Amino acid sequence: MYKIRMDKIDGLFEKLCERYDLFLPVGDSYKKYEKGDKPGEKTNTVRSPKDFFFPQTEDIMKFRTEGKKTELTDIRVGKDDFIIFGARACDTKSFDILDRVFLSPPADTYYKDKREHGVIISAACSRPSETCFCKTYGIDPAEPGGDISAWTVNGTLYLQPNTEKGRAVTDAASGLLSEADGNEVEEEKERIKKILDRLPLRDLTTDGFGAGKTKELFDKKEWERLSEMCLGCGTCTFVCPTCQCYDIKDCKTNKGVLRYRCWDSCMYSDFTKMSAGQPRHTRKERFRQRFMHKLVYFPENNDGEFGCVGCGRCLVSCPVSMNIVKVMKTLGGKNDA
């Protein structure tokens, strides 16, 4: 384990920028480091760091046709190594969930390339929010994981490299870091765990959900009441770090056709709409699809892994306060939602 005083952090960031593109959580989102920038103290950014690997919009290829001939152009460019500094444990876990989708054969090469070049420095949550429920999914915000785990205690940043990519980062900054025994970090972990035990959602459980629960939950009458409140705006899907739905579109230009993909939402009435129509006609069906996917379908196909990390973004962002917590409490038998 290594340490550096926070008043020396600019020197560390500038050193890392000699080799990496560095991104920090500043305000509501991540931005490329500029001299003097400091990582924000919010528990979570409004926009998750999912964008670094699965951007909201992404060009895929260009092509043009002349008669019966089609010319394809691969427009991908080489990716520089980059660091995401300050991702929380929930977001770090979300990358593992996205990996299961985009790296399963056949791997999505656009996503894979970014993952190979990205380094995650994950920061412990010194002040978990009242909307956090990561513990429900076995995530420990005191043990943030990533390529490097980081803790800030009494004006000192502690860094624990966990992977080869993480060790390459600490080696690059070795002249600025000093060895640490980690005693203060252990005390910080205990302090964070005491906060978790006092959070409003500390008792939220996945009991009643998971693989094999489709038949039991699909026709529950509670879906009708829950979905009546939903506006179908899709805000929850756009702030979610684990949602992975996208659409592919072609845009005609004077130089041919540009194909790109962009995030989509299962909450929209035209999602997966085909010539035969929309497979889920009502808002109830679309609402049910979203939460059944995260709580039943995804674990069914991914060794019991749920499709939610308890980051709380949807709780904060939903304009009518309808979210996965209310669904879990209602269908799980706790009707105080």
The pLDDT value given to residue 253? 83
pTM of this prediction? 0.90
For residues 314-323, average pLDDT: 94
In whole angstroms, give the CA distance from residue 23 to residue 34.
9
The pLDDT value given to residue 333? 63
In whole angstroms, give the CA distance from residue 192 to residue 128.
8
DSSP per-residue string spanning 134-172: GGGGT--TTS--SSEEEEEETTEEEEEE-SHHHHHHHHH
Whether 286 contacts 269, CB under 8 Å: yes
pLDDT band at 278 (very low <50, low <70, confident <90, very high): low
In whole angstroms, give the CA distance from residue 145 to residue 286.
34
Strands 256-263 and 246-253: antiparallel
> Over pLDDT 70: what percentage of the chain?
97
For residues 275-296, average pLDDT: 86
pLDDT at 337 exceeding the cut of 60: no
CA nearest 85: which of 39, 151, 18, 153? 39
Q: Which H or E run includes 330?
A: helix 324-331
Whether 177 contacts 159, CB under 8 Å: yes
For residues 191-216, average pLDDT: 95
Phi-psi region of 195 (alpha: psi -120 to 50; beta: other; left: phi over 0): alpha
In whole angstroms, give the CA distance from residue 132 to residue 129.
5
The pLDDT value given to residue 336? 47
For residues 223-250, average pLDDT: 93
**Residues 6 or more apart whose Cβ sits within 8 Å of residue 238:** 56, 263, 265
For residues 265-287, average pLDDT: 79
Strands 118-123 and 29-32: unpaired
For residues 306-334, average pLDDT: 92
CA nearest 26: which of 15, 41, 14, 12? 41
For residues 50-58, average pLDDT: 95
The pLDDT value given to residue 277? 63
